[in-house]
Amino acid sequence: MNKVLRKQMSSSQRALLELREKIFAGELAPGSDHLESELAEQLSMSRTPVREAVLMLEGQGLLELRPRKGIRVVPLSPEDMEEIYDVLTELESLAAECAARASHKEEDLRFLSTAIDDMDVAIANSDLDAWADADDRFHTELVRLGGNSRVNSIVHMMSDQVRRARMTTLFMRPLPTKSNEDHRKVYEAIKDGESQVARDTHREHRLHAKRIIVELLKKHRLRFL
């Protein structure tokens, strides 16, 4: 995130952003507890804006407020992952359906196709970070094209909740070579306005991804991420 933009930001905004980053980076470890005053010092500001940021992050499911026990970075159990993937499956499928129905012009779908191409390249280079980035862009853009702002924000919220865990599992699973076929099918369906196909294809894609992740977590006995 741009440091220049940050200068003219309110302290609460800064707290929000920096806490998010620290959470995603694992700098604030999952399951760890922190005091308001401690976080305030880390961010070199008073408790007030920190409290506000923490409240918002609690609403987004990233922190848990336990008065006098500490502010906990919520850890994810495999069951939580299942919950989240189920929500993502339903809402992204809806988004795919709506995107197809909206009959977008091909140029509106450029971001989507670029993301798909980037994933191909990333896989060819075995570049997992690049793949994850492109995959993120695909899903973000898909949901944006769906045009439902609630779906959009919920999906982003859920994606944020699994962000940390995703980084971990990404390097444990086999290269997602086949997954881009699904992405292409979804793309084509949207382009051709085949809403039912878009929906069903994406749904299958997501259900499959969920199964892989859940088995992975079970196999490696990862209880909290």
Partner DNA sequence: GCATTTCATTGCGTATGCATTAAATGATGC
Partner DNA sequence: GCATCATTTAATGCATACGCAATGAAATGC
Cβ atoms within 10 Å of 5's Cβ, excluding its own? 10
Q: Which of 17, 30, 32, 47 binds DNA (CB under 7 A)?
A: 47
Nearer to a second copy, 49 or 176 (CB): 49
Reference 169, options 210, 139, 120; nearest CA is 210
Helix (H, G, I), strand (E, B) or coil at 8: coil
Q: Which of 17, 32, 51, 61 binds DNA (CB under 7 A)?
A: 51
Q: Least CB distance from residue 27 to DNA, whole Å? A: 19
Nearer to a second copy, 79 or 181 (CB): 79
Residue 149 interacts with, from DNA, a second copy, none (CB under 5-8 Å by kind): a second copy
Binding status of residue 36 toward DNA by CB under 7 A: yes
- Contact between residue 182 and residue 201 where contact means Cβ atoms under 8 Å apart: yes
Region of 21-29, 49-57, 115-123, 136-144 interacting with a second copy (CB under 8 A): 49-57
Helix (H, G, I), strand (E, B) or coil at 34: strand
For residue 61, what are its two tokens?
């499911």
Q: Which of 17, 24, 32, 35 binds DNA (CB under 7 A)?
A: 35
Residue 71 interacts with, from DNA, a second copy, none (CB under 5-8 Å by kind): DNA
- Contact between residue 96 and residue 199 where contact means Cβ atoms under 8 Å apart: yes
Cβ atoms within 10 Å of 223's Cβ, excluding its own? 11
As a whole number of angstroms, the distance between CA 197 and CA 185 comes to: 9
Q: Which of residues 84-113 bind a second copy (CB under 8 A)?
A: 84, 86-87, 90-91, 93-94, 98
By CB atoms closer than 10 A (0-12, 13-18, 19+), residue 165 is buried
Q: Which of residues 147-166 bind a second copy (CB under 8 A)?
A: 148-151, 154, 158
For residue 212, what are its two tokens?
């892989």
Binding status of residue 83 toward a second copy by CB under 8 A: yes
Q: Which of 11, 32, 148, 152 binds DNA (CB under 7 A)?
A: 11
As a whole number of angstroms, the distance between CA 172 and CA 188 comes to: 30
Reference 171, options 114, 141, 142, 132; nearest CA is 132
Nearer to a second copy, 82 or 133 (CB): 82
Residue 45 interacts with, from a second copy, DNA, none (CB under 5-8 Å by kind): DNA
Binding status of residue 55 toward a second copy by CB under 8 A: yes
Which residues of this protein are in contact with DNA, per CB under 7 A? 10-14, 35-37, 45-49, 51-52, 65, 67-71
